[in-house]
Amino acid sequence: MYNIIIQNFIKGMIYLATLIDYKSFSPILQEYASYKLAIQGCSQKTVDEYMLDLRTFFRFVIATKQNIDPNSEDFLNIDIHIIDLEFIKSIKTEDVYSFLMYTGTTRKNMWSAKARKLSAIKTLYKYLVNKRCLMDNNPVANIESPKPKKTLPKVLTLEESLSLLNAVKNDKESKTTVRDYTIITLFLNCGMRVSELTGINLSDIDSQMRSLRVIGKGSKERIIYLNSACISALSEYIEIRKNSKYEKLNERALFLSKQYKRISVKTVQWLVYKYLDMAGLESKHYSVHKLRHTAATLMYQSGEVDVRVLKDILGHEQLNTTQIYTHVSDAQMENAMEQNPLSKIKK
Residues 288-346 pLDDT 10s: 888 888 887 777 776 566 666 666 666 656 555 555 555 545 555 556 566 666 556 66
**What residue spans of the chain are helical by DSSP H?**
2-17, 27-34, 44-66, 73-76, 85-90, 93-105, 111-126, 158-169, 177-190, 194-198, 228-242, 245-248, 265-278, 288-303, 307-314, 319-322, 330-338
The model's pTM:
0.63
- Identify the pLDDT of residue 41: 81
Instruction: Give, as one character, the DSSP assignment of residue 295.
Output: H
Task: Tell me what the mean pLDDT of segment 174-190 comes to.
Answer: 92
Whether 245 is a known active-site residue: answer no
**325 a catalytic residue:** yes
Confidence category of residue 2, pLDDT binned at 50, 70, 90: very low
Once rounded to an integer, what is the mean pLDDT over residues 194-205? Answer: 92
Please indicate whether residue 316 is annotated as part of the active site: yes
Phi, psi of 213 (to 5 degrees): -105, 135
Judged by average pLDDT, the poorest of 13-22, 89-98, 143-152, 209-218 is 13-22
286 catalytic? Reply is no
Q: Is the pLDDT of residue 182 over 90?
A: yes
Task: From the candidates 32, 127, 286, 325, give the one annotated as an active-site residue.
Answer: 325
What confidence tier does 107 reach under pLDDT thresholds 50, 70, 90? confident
Neighbours of 339 (CB within 10 A): 7
- The active-site residue, picked from 89, 122, 126, 289, is 289
Res 11 pLDDT > 50: no
289 is catalytic: yes
* Residue 284 appears among annotated catalytic residues: no
User: Where in the chain are the domains?
Assistant: 20-131, 158-328
Give tens-digit pLDDT for 49-63: 999 999 999 999 999
Higher pLDDT, 217 or 175: 175
Structure confidence at residue 12 as a pLDDT band (50, 70, 90): very low
Domain 20-131 carries which CATH code?
1.10.150
Q: Of 89, 122, 222, 316, which residue is the catalytic one?
A: 316
**Most confident stretch, 13-27, 125-139, 299-313:** 125-139
Model pLDDT, residue 43: 79
pLDDT at 31 over 80: yes
C-alpha 324/C-alpha 297 separation (Å) is: 9
Please identify, in words, the CATH class of the domain defined by 158-328.
mainly alpha
Q: Which of 117, 274, 292, 311 is catalytic?
A: 292
Highest mean pLDDT: which range of 197-211, 216-230, 241-255: 197-211
Confidence class for position 156, pLDDT limits 50, 70, 90: confident
Active-site hit among 193, 290, 293, 311: 193
Which positions ≥6 away from 155 have C-beta within 8 Å? 290, 293, 294, 297, 298
CB 168 within 8 A of CB 177: yes
What is the rounded CA–CA span in Å between residue 309 and residue 26?
45
Count CB neighbours of 170 within 10 A.
11
pLDDT range class, residue 166, cuts 50, 70, 90: very high
pLDDT at 95: 94
Q: Which of 217, 222, 266, 327 is catalytic?
A: 217
Cα separation of 317 and 304, whole Å? Answer: 21
